[in-house]
Amino acid sequence: MRTGVWLVGARGSVATTSIVGALALRAGLTGPTGCVTELPEVRGPALPAFADLVLGGHDVVATPLAKRAEELAAAGVLPGRLVAALTEELAAVERELRPAPTGGTQADRAAALVRDLTDFRERHGLARVVVVNVSATEPAPRPHPAHADPAALRAALTGPDEVLPPSSLYAYAAVTAGCPYVDFTPSTGLRLPALTALADEHRVPYAGNDGKTGETLVKSVLAPMFAMRHLAVRSWSGINLLGGGDGANLADPDANAAKVRSKQRVLGETLGYLPQGGTRIEYVEEMGDFKTAWDLVTFAGFLGTGMRLEFTWHGCDSALAAPLVLDLARLTAAAHAAGHTGPLTDLAFFFKDPLGTTTHSLADQWTRLCDLARQLHEGGADAPRR
Ligand SMILES: NC(=O)c1ccc[n+]([C@@H]2O[C@H](COP(=O)([O-])OP(=O)(O)OC[C@H]3O[C@@H](n4cnc5c(N)ncnc54)[C@H](O)[C@@H]3O)[C@@H](O)[C@H]2O)c1
């Protein structure tokens, strides 16, 4: 099952690490550490093999992929020996990258995106193409009446206004081209009524939002523990220090607000109440693609006795995210092949702000992921289709 993986933001840190990782796995130069789809509970015949993934994508910058990979190697994000060994393979992916269309109306740009996607699918004889958004986080868009309905949206896109934020224009193009769409970012993407209706019309599945790779991953394990032991969480405060392109982009207060909202959801929905405190994100250029998160939790036990928990997470964001991007592409492709449409709620395991479900506990999400994988591998007989 040759499957396309089309990365929006294809020259960014997460995308480049995903591309080098997929090529290295295909060449047998690395193992699948970090890839959830290679665990015994999830792997199986329904998933496209790493060797069957064909990579392409869009970006607004033209920095050569090999240069981005060398920069990431110099920063310690990925091994330099892989970049050297994969020169030809990286050049082949480079030929599949396209500039983000500019000029004209949003309808013109969407048509150009659809052409790039369908050309890619036809050029490589692909069974399907999964579009994965790993581009820069956007601020929340201003509401527009055309966000409510596909026909109004199609009409509005032909006018002079910027009706959709970029992530949503890519989502529009993806579903119009019949491609499943995954949003690894907190951006709006497909989360507009007009776009979910359009996805239903085109019978494509979608998943998101915002990959869960660090502080929120730890929260989604610890918060259920407090709830299950009936301990009262009084405050939960966190600070994240990060550099890299993502950190620089999150220095923008509006993009920062979108990310912080996505990171806080897990507490309210797992505990059933919101403790005091919040999450802060600060850009520290020197940290590059590495991130440090400090969290302080104060809680009360029996007879009101006060206690505290602190944790520190030092993560390499792109190395944590890239295997999940490949996992999501493989699982979403298998779900599309099995006839799933609508939000893939069983992929909540991967996201900070999962679509279509309020299940935030990692353990519950894991059970649902394993059930989905089993259904897909057994032929999808019991698969919940919409
Ligand atoms: N790394 C993680 O652990 C993690 C976790 C969750 C979410 N994310 C999200 O993944 C995204 C990517 O992170 P990153 O570290 O690779 O960032 P990055 O800044 O390195 O890469 C973003 C890429 O998107 C491109 N881009 C910007 N606007 C675009 C547009 N309109 N069309 C096409 N391309 C565009 C940029 O040129 C850049 O190459 C961010 O939104 C981040 O919040 C990352």
CA distance linking residue 181 with residue 179, whole number of Å: 6
Q: How far is the CA of 331 from the centre of ligand 1 (A)?
A: 21
Ligand 1 within 6 A of CB of 14: yes
Would you tell me how many other CB atoms lie within 10 Å of the CB of residue 146?
20
Closest ligand 1 atom number to CA of residue 15:
16
Q: Closest residue (by CA) to atom 9 of ligand 1?
A: 185
Of 109, 133, 131, 127, nearest in space to 55 by CA: 131
Instruction: Assess whether pLDDT exceeds 60 at residue 384.
Output: no
Contact 370, 377 (CB under 8 A): no
Average pLDDT, the chain: 94
Would you tell me how many other CB atoms lie within 10 Å of the CB of residue 302?
7
Q: How far is the CA of 44 from the centre of ligand 1 (A)?
A: 30
> Concatenated DSSP letters for 325-378?
HHHHHHHHHHHHHTT--EE-GGGGGGBSS-TT-----HHHHHHHHHHHHHHHHT
Instruction: Assess whether pLDDT exceeds 60 at residue 242.
Output: yes
The string of pLDDT tens digits covering residues 344-373 is: 999 999 999 999 998 888 999 999 999 999
Instruction: Assess whether pLDDT exceeds 80 at residue 258.
Output: no
Ligand 1 within 6 A of CB of 251: no
Q: How far is the CA of 136 from the centre of ligand 1 (A)?
A: 4
Q: How far is the CA of 40 from the centre of ligand 1 (A)?
A: 30
pLDDT confidence band for 262 (50 / 70 / 90): low
Contact 347, 331 (CB under 8 A): yes
Query: pTM score, two decimals?
Result: 0.95
pLDDT at 382: 42
pLDDT at 263: 67
Contact 208, 258 (CB under 8 A): no
pLDDT confidence band for 181 (50 / 70 / 90): very high
The string of pLDDT tens digits covering residues 15-43 is: 999 999 999 999 999 999 999 999 999 99
**How far out from the chain centre does Cα 264 lie?**
17
Closest ligand 1 atom number to CA of residue 166:
31
pLDDT at 152: 97
CA distance linking residue 298 with residue 233, whole number of Å: 6
Q: Closest residue (by CA) to atom 39 of ligand 1?
A: 12
pLDDT confidence band for 244 (50 / 70 / 90): confident
Q: How far is the CA of 172 from the centre of ligand 1 (A)?
A: 19
The string of pLDDT tens digits covering residues 190-204 is: 999 999 999 999 999
Q: How far is the CA of 358 from the centre of ligand 1 (A)?
A: 25
CA distance linking residue 195 with residue 46, whole number of Å: 28
- Least confident interval from 132-136, 157-161, 193-197, 382-386: 382-386
The string of pLDDT tens digits covering residues 267-279 is: 988 999 999 998 8
Ligand 1 within 6 A of CB of 182: no
pLDDT at 383: 43
- Please give the single-letter amino acid code of residue 382: D
Ligand 1 within 6 A of CB of 135: yes
Q: How far is the CA of 247 from the centre of ligand 1 (A)?
A: 10
Instruction: Assess whether pLDDT exceeds 70 at residue 61.
Output: yes
Q: Closest residue (by CA) to atom 21 of ligand 1?
A: 12
- Give percent of the chain above pLDDT 70: 97
Closest ligand 1 atom number to CA of residue 137:
41
Q: How far is the CA of 187 from the centre of ligand 1 (A)?
A: 10
Instruction: Assess whether pLDDT exceeds 80 at residue 337.
Output: yes
Ligand 1 within 6 A of CB of 245: yes
CA distance linking residue 236 with residue 363, whole number of Å: 21
